[in-house]
Amino acid sequence: MTLPPPLAGLALPAAVVGTIGAVAAPGFGVVLAGLALLASALWAATRRGYWVEGFGALVAAALLLRALPAVADDAGIGFWGCVLAAWLLAWHATTTLSAWQPRAAWLGRLQAVLVPLLFGLWLLVLWELIVRGAGVPSILLPAPSAIGARIAGSLPILWADFQQTYLRAVLTGYAIGCSVGFVAALLIDRSPFLTRGLLPVGNMVSALPIIGTAPIMVMWFGFDWHSKAAVVVVMTFFPMMVNTLAGLKAASRIDHDLMQTYAASYGQTLWKMRLPLAMPFVFNALKINSTLALIGAIVAEFFGSPTVGMGFRISTEIGRMNIDMVWAQITMAAVVGSASYGLIALIERGTTFWHPSYRR
């Protein structure tokens, strides 16, 4: 077993402190949680039962969450002792689980899903317990449950914002920016004149600060999504161009010699050798740009937009102290950003399966 011994060792005293503290300042749920933790910590200290301790920690967490309204804003040492013990046990159980090497393939897949899932779940649980247990003002950091409630209660607004910012501005700008960057790279690669002429201009465009260009784009293209798409174009153009240029230089001398012995034309060499070799670089740019585009569109909406859009919502709701709506938008942006990144990574695996990093 590769688990760090202090974790299991520390959990036991924390559980003892938690249980005693809970008995001293009565809170029935916390006492139950303390007992569950005590039992699991004892089990963990004496046997290799990480299923037991992981399950015990989850049960204790559920009990603590239930007890939250009673102890809210004024949690005693019993509560915090239990939180600490539950966290240590969960940590211990998750490290053990991730070090586990199952023989069956389906168990391996289950493990690959379970470990990050448990990790994320525990992050949310601790966030909830700490924020509500310590009475952190929701203006500083709302509890996950409050954010969840806000998301569930504002689905039509979120959908409208998603359509405006992502489906219109981001996707349009991303498609145009990436294609223009790609074509510019092909042209620059083809012509020494453009290498000297266009490349410095591209470098300069990349150095323009978005907070400077966004208001100008709004002046040029209006308040609606077109100006945000323009900002996204400016942001995504350069990474695509630079990466494609690097990719077009990826072919070695022997690769070029081979094509030359076949008297292959420029187009044939490009299509059959240089572009396939450039694909890992192109996908790098596509991945970088997928998150960059979302950031660009959201920030651009700060400088003027119709009364819809993720950036518009964030900038107005923060002014109205509706922090949970801001967090709901952040959550949506995170989910959408990771999903687009993941989708591109998936396509990349299918396209550049031959690359040493993906070979099986």
Partner 1 sequence: MIDARGLSLVFQTADGPVHALADVDLAIERHAFVSLIGPSGCGKTTLLRVIADLEQPTAGSITVEGVTPEAARLARAYGYVFQAPALYPWRTVAKNVALPLEIMGLPRAERMERVKRNLALVNLEGFERKYPWQLSGGMQQRASIARALTFDPDLLLMDEPFGALDEIVRDHLNLQLHGLWHRTKKTVVFVTHSILEAVFLSTKIVVMSPRPGRIHDVIACDLPRERTLELRETPEFLAIAQRVRDGLKAGHAYVD
Site residues for partner 1, 206-225, by CB under 8 A, read none
Encoded one letter per residue, x for contact with partner 1 by CB under 8 A and - for no contact, window 135-154 reads --------------------
Q: Is 284 an interacting residue with respect to partner 1 (CB under 8 A)?
A: no
Total interface residues for partner 1 by CB under 8 A? 20
Q: How far is the CB of 286 from partner 1 (least distance, A)?
A: 18
Q: Which of 302, 286, 284 is CA-nearest to residue 214?
A: 302
Q: Which of 49, 67, 60 is CA-nearest to residue 83?
A: 60
Q: How far is the CB of 360 from partner 1 (least distance, A)?
A: 10
* Local structure of residue 1 (DSSP, 8 states): -
What's the N-to-C CA distance of the chain in angstroms? 29
Distance between CA 307 and CA 324 in Å, rounded? Answer: 19
Q: What is the largest CA-CA distance in the chain?
A: 88
357: phi then psi, degrees, rounded to nearest 5: -75, -10
Q: Is 159 an interacting residue with respect to partner 1 (CB under 8 A)?
A: no
Among 113, 155, 207, 254, which residue sits at the site for partner 1 (rule: CB under 8 A)? 254
Among 203, 260, 307, 338, which residue sits at the site for partner 1 (rule: CB under 8 A)? 260
Q: Is 357 an interacting residue with respect to partner 1 (CB under 8 A)?
A: no
Segment contacting partner 1 by CB under 8 A, of 33-41, 217-225, 234-242, 269-277: 269-277
Burial class (CB in 10 A: 0-12, 13-18, 19+), 104: exposed
Encoded one letter per residue, x for contact with partner 1 by CB under 8 A and - for no contact, window 337-356 reads ---------------xxxxx
Quickly list H helices, 191-274.
192-207, 210-221, 225-248, 253-261, 266-269
Among 130, 210, 258, 344, which residue sits at the site for partner 1 (rule: CB under 8 A)? 258
Q: Are 174 and 290 in contact (CB under 8 A)?
A: yes
Segment contacting partner 1 by CB under 8 A, of 5-13, 231-239, 256-264, 294-302: 256-264
- Of the pair 268, 307, the CB lying nearest partner 1 is at 268
Distance between CA 57 and CA 63 in Å, rounded? Answer: 10
Site residues for partner 1, 5-44, by CB under 8 A, read none
Q: Is 264 an interacting residue with respect to partner 1 (CB under 8 A)?
A: yes
Distance between CA 75 and CA 83 in Å, rounded? Answer: 11
Q: How far is the CB of 3 from partner 1 (least distance, A)?
A: 38
Q: For residue 214, count other CB atoms closer than 10 A to its CB.
A: 25
**Which spans of this chain sit near partner 1 (rule: CB under 8 A)?**
254-255, 257-264, 268, 272-273, 276, 352-356, 359
